Chains A and B, each alone.
Chain A
Amino acid sequence: MAEKDAWEQCLYRFARVLLLNGETARKLVTETLEESIRAGVGESSDRDRVIMLQFQDLRRRALKIHPAAKTPIPAASISLPGGASEIVPRVGPDQIEAALHGLPEPGRSAYTLLLLDTMDAESIATLLDLEPAAFAEAVQGARLATQQALAAIEPEAAS
């Protein structure tokens, strides 16, 4: 029985955010896993590292297919507006997906992986080759940009 918070499910969700296309994401995740199986990546005794490598490999492939946006992100010193979470129930999963997809890298991957909750912050920072401070700034910038993107959605479109 598949669990919704299993890491492989998160791998697919990550692919969806990076590509904004369900079929391409499905294909990419399957290819990534199958190639790792063929290459014997799973023979490593470090399970967490094997999982991290799947996300890293998938991201590399996804960025080749669909490079990230280059829009600037807000400064990490800015705080999230009060009551920011209230907008979330008013938008659909597709709009959340699109908002995350529109973020620039590495903030997009940093924030999405943090939300998917498959790895700890240190592992995500390692995966993205970021120092802890840079990682925190990237996450906060992406968080603020996501909130702004969701807040900009017209109530009619959101419904």
Chain B
Amino acid sequence: MNTKQARQHLLAYRPSGADDGDRSTRAALKAAAAAPELQAEFHNQLAFDRALAGRLDAIIPDDLAEPLTEAAARLLTKKHRRLSLRDPAMLSVGLAFLVIIGLGVWIFLGKANSFAGMDEVTEMVQAGDKAQPSEFQELETKAGTLTDWFAMQDFDGFAVPPGMESAPVVGVRVFKYEDVPVATAAVARPRAFFYVFEAQPFGISLPAGEWRTLEYGDKTRRTLAIRQIGNMAFVVALRGSKADMQSYLNSIRPPDH
């Protein structure tokens, strides 16, 4: 750096010496040290600037210093404050997010247990549940043995899901709902009804092996669970809540599931 360049650089020298570590400032200072005239001019400039800077420090009202510092801190820390979970805005956003998630889960669960033909199946089961004991033919057997019995009643395709074959049946009957034959078995433990019918007339089409559960009943809480076995729909209906039904389904689930 030549003397002219050094002078130009040093004219903008910070009087605090804060730029001394800067490479070009070091070069300018080195060049000034080698040029006595520039060195003298620089020292004169530095003394003047430092004297002025020292006097400017006095310009600040006592009552303003603290508020300014607080405002500056708020400005530079706003990002962190915004991310604080204690911030009311963050709490509101978080709450809204949870509500949306909850709504989504509620809708998903609602849809998860709905199925085509749900209303018809509910009506059919409610009608079947009202059957009097006299309408059943007494028959003590296991549910898995009823296929032939129902076949002899001109009802083909009776089947129960795996794990339900040993359910203790105490009565059976066939009735029609909207001209669709429905095979019914009264089960002793737990007290329940098995309903088997063709899925297609009600538009039922469920993924293989999947259950749908639904609470129904006006005065007494009852729950039905439905799944598809080939072309047939299988329904188990019992008194109790969805949790009771789930408990029952879990209890009859075969070991390999």
Contact A135 B12 (CB under 8 A): yes
Per-position contact with B for A129-151: 1 when CB-CB < 8 Å, else 0? 00011011101100100110000
Contact B69 A93 (CB under 8 A): no
B76 at the interface (CB under 8 A from A): yes
Write the nearest CB–CB distance from B53 to chain A, whole angstroms: 5
Of A7, A47, A79, which is within 8 A of B41 by CB? A79
Contact A116 B56 (CB under 8 A): yes
Residue of B nearest to A34 (CB): B71
Contact B16 A117 (CB under 8 A): yes
A36 at the interface (CB under 8 A from B): yes
- Which A residues are CB-close (under 8 A) to B111? none
B178 at the interface (CB under 8 A from A): no
Per-position contact with A for B12-32: 1 when CB-CB < 8 Å, else 0? 111110110010000000000
Contact B79 A13 (CB under 8 A): no
Using a CB–CB distance below 8 Å, which chain B residues touch chain A?
8-9, 11-16, 18-19, 22, 40-41, 44-45, 47-53, 55-61, 64-69, 71-72, 74-79, 82
Write the nearest CB–CB distance from A69 to chain B, whole angstroms: 18
Residue of A nearest to B76 (CB): A42
Contact B53 A136 (CB under 8 A): no
Given known pairs A2-B68, A42-B76, the reply for A146 and B44 (CB within 8 Å) is no
Contact B44 A84 (CB under 8 A): yes
Main secondary structure of the interface of A (DSSP, over half): helix
Contact B71 A37 (CB under 8 A): yes
Given known pairs A6-B69, A114-B15, A143-B45, the reply for A16 and B59 (CB within 8 Å) is yes
Complexed CA–CA distance, A41 and B55 (Å):
31
Using a CB–CB distance below 8 Å, which chain A residues touch chain B?
1-9, 11-13, 16, 22, 26, 29-30, 33-34, 36-37, 40-43, 45, 47, 50, 54, 76, 79-85, 88-89, 93, 96-97, 112, 114-117, 120-121, 124-125, 132-133, 135-137, 139-140, 143, 146-147
Complexed CA–CA distance, A22 and B79 (Å):
31
Complexed CA–CA distance, A54 and B76 (Å):
11
Residue of B nearest to A133 (CB): B8
Complexed CA–CA distance, A42 and B23 (Å):
30
- Which B residues are CB-close (under 8 A) to A93? 55-56, 58-59
- Which B residues are CB-close (under 8 A) to A50? 75-76
- Which B residues are CB-close (under 8 A) to A97? 56, 59
Ordered by A's residue number, 25 sampled pairs between the chains whose C-beta atoms are within 8 Å are A6-B69, A9-B69, A30-B68, A33-B72, A34-B71, A41-B75, A42-B75, A43-B79, A80-B44, A80-B48, A84-B45, A85-B48, A85-B50, A96-B56, A97-B56, A97-B59, A112-B56, A114-B14, A117-B18, A120-B18, A121-B19, A125-B12, A135-B12, A140-B11, A143-B48
Write the nearest CB–CB distance from B80 to chain A, whole angstroms: 10
Contact B51 A80 (CB under 8 A): no
Question: 10 closest pairs, A vs B, by CB?
Answer: A2-B65, A88-B51, A8-B72, A85-B47, A121-B12, A42-B75, A136-B11, A42-B78, A33-B71, A84-B48
Given known pairs A7-B72, A13-B59, A136-B9, the reply for A143 and B14 (CB within 8 Å) is no
- Which B residues are CB-close (under 8 A) to A121? 12-14, 19
Given known pairs A37-B78, A42-B77, A139-B11, the reply for A8 and B51 (CB within 8 Å) is no
- Which A residues are CB-close (under 8 A) to B66? 2
- Which B residues are CB-close (under 8 A) to A37? 71, 74-75, 78
Contact B69 A42 (CB under 8 A): no
Contact A22 B47 (CB under 8 A): no
